[in-house]
A and B are shown apart, each in its own frame.
Chain A
């Protein structure tokens, strides 16, 4: 048997490889030829080898309490240079707008005064963190790392599905996928100039250095992890290792006199910047969950005193709330005076009574998402849900319209994926990762393509039993050429006001 697309039946969605007329899309021709030259068993063998490599390296994700490898599909996802240029410009634009919004929301609140966004949207968000109000990011950056989830709709257009500006995870799989692919399926790469993905740790380290408290030139930086039992522990340790910085847990840290220290074999050592992978609510038991054992008491005060920088900033959750998502195009227009490069998926705000009535009546034809759900939890896909679920969801949205949004059901694009030895269409999404060092927003070429492995499943998430694909951005010119991701100079706060902390934005520039 041959690993081919002969028996491949395109599902009712845009297929990334097979065009509507059955031909192979140009970007994929060489890879499909390479795959054709492999026998079915060979491809399966390679797929097994990929899984084994991951198990050995401990590239795992805890799913349902069990540590298991995050399945890597051997068929790569390819993005051509021109499309990538547009996509990366679009996500950079979003991150810039969200930085402006966060800075404004925690200071002047111009965006509310101008009526762009209703103020109650923020005050009603559980993610609004009063403790964050007094914390001034030293270089004006609140979003050191962002993951902007993008999907392709039925007509092939890219749309943003959600923004993640708290603690987006998954970048380790991007690096590990590439490592495994180049070792196991090197033949697929021959002759292609695929942009490298291993620059990420250096970019992140630089962004963390730039975020150091004022006056600290050679900051001590640490990654804060909830511990080995966290689903993304592998990623925390990989990033710490690749950046050459300490991986700490709450119990390794102690605050006194508004300074943060880690306990080392030679006593306590100051920590200047903390790249935390712990949720806001657990970071500091004095402010959030008082029983949290994974945080460190006094951290927020130390940050407010300007002695330590917390990255990403505390309180970013108001910007990636899914109701806020519906306003991001307005934020782009307001703060940047630009038109959005990437569209949202059509989304309905249920706080509008007429909209609520309409959606409630026709709930089977919408996707209902909790505004603060992470990892695909709580999402109800109308057409795939049973009557009982729909009835419960209808009740829930009527009881608390602020807690949900309704979206059009998008048949997100499919990609041929190796399922039990044969290629079958599976729905995919893409999470490009952005790093903001205050001078520019940089996008890691590619990002994490996640695959929903159950047939027909539309929720693509590593915590929902998904897999992933190596994601290739093809260079315009030659290998190693990264000209197409030239960063756009950017800082949320003008350099001149940096010493005094962020002031209001210069409004005359905005309109």
Chain B
């Protein structure tokens, strides 16, 4: 028995498949909850709500006079050229899967391939059924993919790179969501919408029935150790994946850079005073966002960028 090796190129594909599928999943949930907020509350200012949405996804809006719902859907859901839109993410996930078909399972490939083939038809249906059915189907397919990943892959490095990508994207999305909420101040949507956008409404209400406060909700989304989408939960799982990557064991004492970065972010959350944390929230969110970007860079350098080693030397015959 040999420990199966993993090509650097494959590892990179797997990592990005994890990120893109999670991105599509989170984006659809965020758009869905914000859109329905607008429909349910006619006093809601469409332009402001749309700008908020775009801000979460990091799309600049200052040059545009007025942003409408169709604009948002085009930019965040349908634009195939953009790596932050749903269709763009799912297309990229499928592209990466095509190049790594022999390391992912057939079921995972078929899931992404079928999803991709169905996208044009689902997009076309939006004019009749509204965006919800489209967004809902994206979440269904993403969940199916996540389930297949966990149910069909060996717990090898290949699997860890998928979950690593998924985890980092999840932390990134959660911090964006909270950062925009904090920055928007009075114009921000209510906490219920935020909880729904984070996929946390029911989980939160089970733990804190009938209560709603900035401290509790932000604390839950950041620090809850049992809610799988909380920043702390995701950081812990990412740290675990990094520690388990097989070549880490041989480096005595020295943890990889990525693991150190994520570990520091995790301990900042875990060992801070919760009350203090809420007051320093925007600072801490920035710290985590930076940690995600730095960790991705460290992972890329450590595991993916092997091509820089190419050397041309004369062959001794």
Q: Spell out A's residues near B (CB within 8 Å).
A: 55-58, 218, 220, 223, 227-228, 233, 237, 240-241, 246-249, 251-252, 254-258, 262-269, 297-298, 301, 305
Contacts and interface: CB of A to CB of B under 8 A. Distances in A.
B5 interface: yes
Nearest to A301: B315
A257 B114 contact: no
A301 B314 CA distance: 11
Contacts, number: 88
Contacts of A265: 5-8, 11, 157, 245, 247, 303-304
Nearest to B2: A218
B101 interface: yes
A256 B313 contact: yes
B102 A246 contact: yes
Contacts of B11: 265
B5 to A, nearest CB: 4
Contacts of B307: 251, 263
B309 A57 contact: no
A258 B317 CA distance: 8
Contact of A57 (B113, B246, B306): B113
Contact of B102 (A55, A56, A237): A237
Interface in B1-35: 2, 5-9, 11
B312 interface: yes
Nearest to B304: A265
Contacts of B7: 246, 248, 252, 262-265
B254 interface: no
B5 A258 contact: no
B192 interface: no
Given A263-B309, A264-B5, A266-B247, 13 more contacts: A56-B114, A57-B113, A58-B110, A220-B5, A223-B102, A246-B7, A251-B307, A258-B315, A263-B9, A263-B307, A264-B306, A265-B245, A265-B304
B101 A241 contact: yes
24 contacts: A55-B117, A56-B117, A57-B109, A58-B101, A233-B98, A241-B101, A241-B106, A247-B102, A251-B307, A252-B8, A252-B9, A254-B310, A255-B315, A256-B311, A256-B315, A258-B317, A262-B7, A263-B306, A263-B307, A265-B245, A265-B304, A266-B6, A297-B312, A301-B315
Nearest to B94: A58
A257 B316 contact: yes
B58 interface: no
Contact of A58 (B6, B109, B245): B109
Report, nearest first, the 10 A-B pairs whose CB atoms are least far apart: A263-B306, A266-B247, A240-B102, A237-B101, A264-B5, A247-B102, A241-B102, A265-B303, A263-B8, A269-B5
B120 interface: no
B287 to A, nearest CB: 28
A55 B245 CA distance: 35
A297 B310 CA distance: 11
B147 interface: no
Contacts of B2: 218, 220
Given A237-B101, A263-B7, A254 B106 contact: no
B106 to A, nearest CB: 7
Contacts of B70: none
Contact of B9 (A56, A240, A249, A255): A249
Contacts of B113: 56-58
Interface string B77-100: 000000000000000000000110
Contacts of A254: 309-310
Contacts of B309: 254, 263, 268
B102 A262 contact: no
B116 to A, nearest CB: 10
A56 B317 CA distance: 49
A252 B98 CA distance: 16
A55 B6 CA distance: 28
Nearest to B157: A265
Contacts of A240: 102
Nearest to B315: A301
Contacts of B5: 220, 246, 262, 264-266, 269
A262 B246 CA distance: 17
Nearest to B117: A55
Contacts of B114: 56
A21 B202 CA distance: 74
Contacts of A247: 101-102
Of B9, B102, B157, B310, chain A has the most CB atoms within 10 Å of the CB of B102
A237 B117 CA distance: 20
Contacts of B312: 297
B102 A58 contact: no
A258 B304 CA distance: 24
Interface in B57-80: none
Contacts of B110: 56-58
Contacts of B9: 249, 251-252, 263
Contact of B317 (A220, A262, A264, A301): A301
B126 to A, nearest CB: 22
Nearest to B303: A265
B99 to A, nearest CB: 5
Contacts of B106: 57, 241
A228 B99 contact: yes
Nearest to A237: B101
Contacts of B101: 58, 237, 241, 247
A258 B315 CA distance: 7
Interface string B246-269: 110000000000000000000000
Contacts of B98: 58, 228, 233
A264 B6 contact: yes
A206 B303 CA distance: 32
A269 B8 CA distance: 11
Contacts of B317: 258, 301, 305
A296 to B, nearest CB: 10
Contacts of B8: 252, 263-265
Nearest to B5: A264
A254 B316 CA distance: 15
A307 to B, nearest CB: 11
Contacts of A248: 7
Of A58, A220, A246, A269, chain B has the most CB atoms within 10 Å of the CB of A58
Contacts of A267: 247, 306
A241 B10 CA distance: 14
Nearest to A241: B102
A223 B10 CA distance: 14
B305 to A, nearest CB: 10
A121 B114 CA distance: 50
Interface in B226-253: 245-247
Nearest to A258: B315
Contacts of A301: 315, 317
A72 B98 CA distance: 22
Contacts of B6: 264-266
A233 B98 CA distance: 9
